[in-house]
């Protein structure tokens, strides 16, 4: 197994999403695991302070199978 060098100056392939504890503690039990995962996946498309996600049609088709 070899190590993979990560370029810390590039965010092209690596990012993070902040999730509130309230969502994990309360909403996952309310809406179920599948819809919660879909929400988190769509949330990853909302970046730079935006609250709207614009995934591609291909991505929407993939997410529909989750």
- What does the alpha-carbon distance between residue 44 and residue 25 come to, in Å, rounded to a whole number? 19
Q: Nearest CA to 38 among 56, 20, 60, 17?
A: 60
Helix (H, G, I), strand (E, B) or coil at 6: coil
pLDDT for residue 48 is more than 80: no
Mean pLDDT in the chain? 76
Task: Evaluate whether 55 touches 42 at the Cβ level (below 8 Å).
Answer: yes
More confident of the two residues 60 and 42: 42
pLDDT at 43: 82
pLDDT at 12: 58
Q: What are phi and psi of 33, to 5 degrees?
A: -70, -45
- What does the alpha-carbon distance between residue 44 and residue 49 come to, in Å, rounded to a whole number? 11
pLDDT for residue 25 is more than 60: yes
Is pTM beyond 0.75 here? no
pLDDT for residue 10 is more than 70: no
| Domain spans in the chain, listed from the N-terminal domain onward | 32-64
């Amino acid at each position: 197994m070899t190590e993979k060098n990560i370029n810390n100056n590039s965010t092209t392939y690596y990012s993070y999403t902040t999730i509130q504890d309230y969502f994990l503690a309360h909403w996952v039990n309310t809406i179920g695991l599948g819809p919660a995962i879909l929400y988190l996946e769509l949330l990853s498309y909302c970046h730079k302070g935006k609250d709207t996600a614009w995934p591609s049609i291909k991505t929407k088709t993939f997410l529909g199978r989750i």
